[in-house]
Amino acid sequence: MLNSRSYIGKGNSVTVRRAGSFWAQNARQTSFPPSEAEVAEDAARQPIDVVIVALSSASLMNLFGPAEVFARANSLFPAPVYRVRIISAAAREYPTSFQVTLTAESTYREFKQEIDTLLVAGGLSWQSPLRNSETSQLLEWLRANCARSRRYGAFCTGGMMLAEAGLLHRKRATAHWSRLEEMAARYPDVQVLSDRIFVRDGNCYTAAGGSSAIDLALALVEEDLGGEVSLEIAKQMVLFLRRSGTQPQLSTTLLSQTSQIGSIGNLLVWMADNLDQDLSVSQLARRVAMSPRNFARHFVREVGKTPARHVIDLRLEAARRNLAHARLSLGDVAKASGFGSVEVFRRLFTKTFGTSPGRYRDRLENVRASVPARHF
DNA sequence: ATAGTCTTCCGCCAAG
DNA sequence: CGCTTGGCGGAAGACT
């Protein structure tokens, strides 16, 4: 088993285990804190070159969210692990969302350095690229450099640019939920997945954009440096929870929070936080001081589905999150998600997702394995 | 796999 | 009168 040393933690022997990780080359069991020689060795190591290409539509979140994740990783080690550069897909001075103009280190044309991880950042103001020489130069550059890089990916509508360049050919990919239909229609050779916040297919990564750009960056850091490091970064950034790629873009929980309709709106938030409680129609009705009949009627009108269905959706969503924790047994997952029994949990899960909880977890673990090793 | 029990949903109706 | 509310009962289906 390959190990990497960790500079995090107060214990005596904190190790980060990760096959094929950034540290794989000279992997060995190490202790915490690392010895002086080990620190020196890490400090001398070449950083990983992360290049973020900012399309003219790029949103700030897609640029700086991931950049911050990599920068935080650097702060955990004696020398930078990542060298992050943001380069422009157009002029050096380029507009972003919200009227903020940025000056990039260089444009893609001038950029000649190594690229380990190439990421294309888009935004919602993206428009289908015109088929002119300007565009074809960028597409050509993307094709050449993605082929050279260890891995490449995109945030939000950046994925459209990759698809336009043919770099998502026959790959599974995603984009912002509002652009998924357009993506599927425009690029029929791409297998567009709608229920993910990010998708990895081989060494190609696509994220929905917005905060999921951060989730994808954390996943990349986890591949390189292990889960302990990415979790530490998530903690530093005060992320409520670190999400796996398989979370739906528009979650039941999130939609609950956007419903601001009187007492039901508050109840929806409370429900999402109290999945272990009795969420029967009669109990819910009591919480909002309505008769069960009247409550059910209001609920359907305002939420668009019946109370019981909503409870099931919330619990299944929690179950999908909980299934990502390999340590929890299926019984624990069922309990933590508020299901009365494993049998009930299994039946509902299978009926809704077409696959049993066990198989679903197996698939999660398969997706995580087989990371392309970094070439030194 | 099955049968008995419980819960949910929804149309209907009367009361406020 | 128009609209909302709450109770009833049966059908569907979920649970044990």
H or E element at residue A48: strand A48-54
Q: What is the DSSP letter of A45?
A: S
> Cis bond leading into A33, ω under 30°?
yes
Token code pair at residue A329: 């047994």
Best CA proximity match to A239, nearest among A216, A256, A220, A261: A216
Q: Please tell me the number of Cα atoms within 13 Å of A187 on its side-chain side.
A: 26
Three-state DSSP at A155 gives strand
As a whole number of angstroms, the distance between CA A196 and CA A176 comes to 10
- In angstroms, the CA A24 to CA A36 distance is 19
pLDDT score of A254: 66
Sign of the four-CA dihedral A102, A105, A111, A114:
negative
Q: How confident is the model at residue A220, as a pLDDT?
A: 92
DSSP one-letter code for A279: -
* Closest residue by C-alpha to C1' distance, nucleotide C7: A293
Q: Which helix (H) or strand (E) holds A119?
A: strand A117-121
Residues 223-282 of A with CB under 7 A from strand B: 280-282
A51/A83 Cα distance (integer angstroms): 8
pLDDT value of residue A277:
86
- Residue A204, φ and ψ in degrees, nearest 5: -115, 130
Question: Which nucleotide has its C1' atom closest to residue A340's CA?
Answer: C15
Q: What is the pLDDT of residue A57?
A: 81
**HSE of A115 in the Cβ direction (CA atoms, 13 Å)?**
25
Tell me the β-bridge partners of A36.
none
Provide the residue-wise pLDDT of chain A in tens; the chain has 376 residues.
223 555 654 433 333 433 334 443 333 334 456 667 777 777 777 889 999 999 988 889 999 999 999 999 998 888 889 999 999 998 888 877 777 888 888 999 999 898 999 999 998 888 877 777 778 899 999 999 999 999 999 999 999 999 999 999 999 999 998 999 999 999 999 999 887 888 989 899 999 988 899 999 999 998 888 778 888 888 888 776 667 777 777 777 766 665 555 667 778 888 888 888 889 898 889 888 888 899 999 888 888 888 999 999 889 888 888 887 767 788 888 888 888 888 888 888 888 887 888 888 877 665 555 444 343 3
What's residue A376's pLDDT? 30
**Is the CB of A282 less than 7 A from some atom of nucleic acid strand C?**
no
Q: Parallel, antiparallel, or unpaired: how do β-strands A151-155 and A204-207 relate?
A: parallel
CA distance A72 to A229: 10
Nucleotide whose C1' lies closest to the alpha carbon of residue A311: B8
Distance CA A131, CA A98 (A): 27
What pLDDT is stored for residue A260 in this prediction?
Answer: 52
For A214-252, give the DSSP string: HHHHHHHHHHHH-HHHHHHHHHHTT-S-PPPTTS-SS-H
Instruction: Note the strand B nucleotides within 7 A of protein beta carbons.
Output: 7-12
Helix (DSSP H) and strand (DSSP E) numbers for chain A: 15, 13
The whole model's pTM is what? 0.76
